[in-house]
């Protein structure tokens, strides 16, 4: 079980417990249940990566490019416990 924090920066911040083998769609439904939105209107993002519905959380790979010393570093992440995901609405 992992717990993920989702935050749209408009006053909503929820912590959702889920399994790592849940899909992003499932996560969205859970978030929707807690926030009271329609799940298909939810967009989950981390930086510029939008997570797609059919992918399991443990397989979510997000490439993060950092501009450190003008070289682009790609850093990979999975969705892990305690991670903060940006919550957007379509």
Partner 1 sequence: MGSSSKKYKEKETRKRRHRSPSRTYEEEYYEASKEKRHKHKKHHHHHKEKRKEKNQRQEYESDSSDVVEVITDDSQSAAPPKSSNRSPEASSQSVESLSIQETNKLRAKLGLKPLDVGNSSTSSASGRSQDDGKKKDDLGEFYHKPAENLQAKAQQEKVKAKLAEIREKRQLHNKYGKVKTLGEEDSNDDVEAWINKNRKIDEAKREAEKRAKMLEELDAQFGIGEVVESEKREKMRQKYTERDLRGLTVEHDLDTFREESTVVLTLKDSGVLDEDEDVLVNVNMLDDERYKKSVENKKKKILYNAYEDNEFDEFGNPKEKSLLSQYDEEIDGVKRDSFKIGYNNVVERKSVIHSVKEKLAKKKIESVAGIQLKLASEYYNEEELTKFKKPKKKVRKIRSKGKLLTADELEEQPQNTGIEAIGSRRPKYKNDPDLTIDDVPSVDIPTDLKLEEDKDDLLEKALHKTRKMKQKENIIENIIKPEIKSETEEENIDSGNIILNATAEFCRTLGDIPTYGKAGNREETEELIDYEKDIIPDENSDDDCEIIEPTGWNSVDPTNQGIDSTQIPPQEVQILDEEPDVSTGVGAALKLAMSKGYLDKEQNNRPSNSRLAHLQAKHYSIEDKSYGEEGDRQNRRERYSGPITDFKEKDGFKPNVKLEYIDDEGHILNSKEAFRYLSHKFHGKGPGKNKVEKRIKKSVQEQLMKKMSSTDTPLGTLNMLQAKQKETQSPFVVLSGSKQSQSTALSKSRR
Give the footprint of partner 1 on this chain (CB under 8 A).
Answer: 1-3, 5, 7-8, 10-22, 26, 29-30, 32-39, 41, 58, 76, 81, 89
Exposed, middle or buried: residue 52 (CB in 10 Å: 0-12, 13-18, 19+)? Answer: exposed
Integer-rounded Cα radius of gyration of the chain: 13
Q: How far is the CB of 70 from partner 1 (least distance, A)?
A: 25
Identity of the residue, 16 or 62, whose beta carbon is nearer to partner 1 in the bound complex: 16
Identity of the residue, 32 or 46, whose beta carbon is nearer to partner 1 in the bound complex: 32
Q: How far is the CB of 56 from partner 1 (least distance, A)?
A: 10
Identity of the residue, 20 or 55, whose beta carbon is nearer to partner 1 in the bound complex: 20
Q: How far is the CB of 48 from partner 1 (least distance, A)?
A: 21
Residue 55 CA to residue 73 CA, distance in Å, equals 24
Residue 47 CA to residue 64 CA, distance in Å, equals 7
Residue 87 CA to residue 6 CA, distance in Å, equals 6
């Amino acid at each position: 079980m992992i717990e993920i924090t989702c935050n749209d920066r408009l006053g909503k911040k929820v912590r959702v417990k889920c399994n790592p083998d849940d899909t992003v769609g499932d996560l969205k439904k859970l978030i929707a249940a807690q926030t009271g939105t329609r799940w298909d209107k939810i967009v989950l993002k981390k930086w510029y990566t939008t997570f797609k519905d059919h992918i399991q959380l443990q397989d979510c790979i997000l490439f993060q490019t950092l501009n450190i010393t003008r070289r682009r570093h790609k850093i990979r992440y999975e969705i892990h416990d305690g991670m903060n995901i940006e919550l957007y609405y379509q």
